[in-house]
Amino acid sequence: MWSKFFLAKYVRQKHISIVDPLKGSKFWKMLLHNLPEVQKYSKWNVRDGKLSFWHDKWFSAGPLSNAHEVRELSGLSLTDCQTENGWKVEVFDQLVRAETTEKIIAELGRVKQGKDILIWLPKAHGNFSTKSAWECIRLRSPNLPWAKWLWNPALPRKMSIIMWKAQHNCLPVDDRVRRTGIPLTSKCDCCREGSYEDQNHVLATGEFAEQIWRMCASKLELPCLQGKTWREKVES
C-alpha cells in the first residue's frame, strides 16, 4: 500500500529514476537521493521482460541510460524488443553500439520463463535485508581496545549504552544541557554541597562517585584514584 501510494502520487507513468528530485515531500526527496545506492546493490533478472530498456538495471554494466544518450524510444521496454524466436537485434543496433548489442544478446540468451525478479546482490540468495543494507553503507571505524569490555555480553545493555554515551561525552548532565543552549542552574543531586554537574564530576570527582571508586580500588587492590578524571580511573 505504501509503495503504491508513492508510485501513484509522484512516479505515475514515468520511470522512478527520471522523476524530478526537487518536487515532493522531504521524505520522498530523501528516497530519491538514496536511489542510486539501491541500484548499486541490486539487479533485475529478466524473465517476462516488463522492464525499462533504458532505466532499469537488468544489464550487468548498469542501466543503459548511464552509458548511452537516450535520444529515442525513451519508454521502450524489453517486452517491445522480443519476437517469437528471440530478440529484435536491429532495434538494439539502432539504439546502442555494436559491442554493447553483443553483450546484451549474450545476457538475454539466458532468460527463463516467469516474472522479472529483483535480486539483492550482497546476499547469495538475493533476498533483501536491512542488516545487509546497513553493512553496505556503514562507515567502519578501527577496532578500539575499550569496545570489547564496553559491549561485553555479560553487562546489561542499558549499562553498555550509558558507558558508550560517557565515552562520547553525551550523557545528559547539566553541563551538557547548558552547552546545547538551554539555560539552567546546575546542582548535583548526589552531593551535599550541590556542586556543578558535569560528566567528570558525576563519574569521578563527585562525593558519591569518589565513594564508589574507593570501594573499587580497595576490592581490586588498585592505587589511590582520588583526584583523577573518570577516563584515568577507568584506564587504571
What is residue 116's predicted lDDT score, i.e. its pLDDT?
Answer: 92
Contacts 24+ apart (CB under 8 A), 103-107: 103/59, 103/60, 103/61, 104/59, 107/46, 107/58, 107/59, 107/60
Tell me the per-residue pLDDT of 150-179, one tens digit each, with 9 for 90 and over: 889 999 999 999 989 998 888 999 999 998
> Taking residues 21-31, what's their average pLDDT?
91
What is residue 122's predicted lDDT score, i.e. its pLDDT?
Answer: 94
Residue 147 pLDDT class (50, 70, 90 cuts): confident
What percent of the chain shows pLDDT beyond 70? Answer: 95
What is residue 206's predicted lDDT score, i.e. its pLDDT?
Answer: 87
Q: Which three cell numbers stand for residue 117?
A: 525478479
pLDDT at residue 10 tops 70:
yes
> Taking residues 91-100, what's their average pLDDT?
90
Tell me the per-residue pLDDT of 42-74, one tens digit each, with 9 for 90 and over: 999 999 889 999 999 999 888 999 888 887 888
What is residue 73's predicted lDDT score, i.e. its pLDDT?
Answer: 87
Average pLDDT, the chain: 87
Sort 192 into a burial class: Cβ within 10 Å, 0-12 / 13-18 / 19+: exposed
Please report, for the chain, the start and end positions of each structural domain, with discontinuous segments joined by +. 41-137, 171-235
Residue 225 pLDDT class (50, 70, 90 cuts): low
pLDDT at residue 223 tops 90:
no
pLDDT at residue 228 tops 90:
no
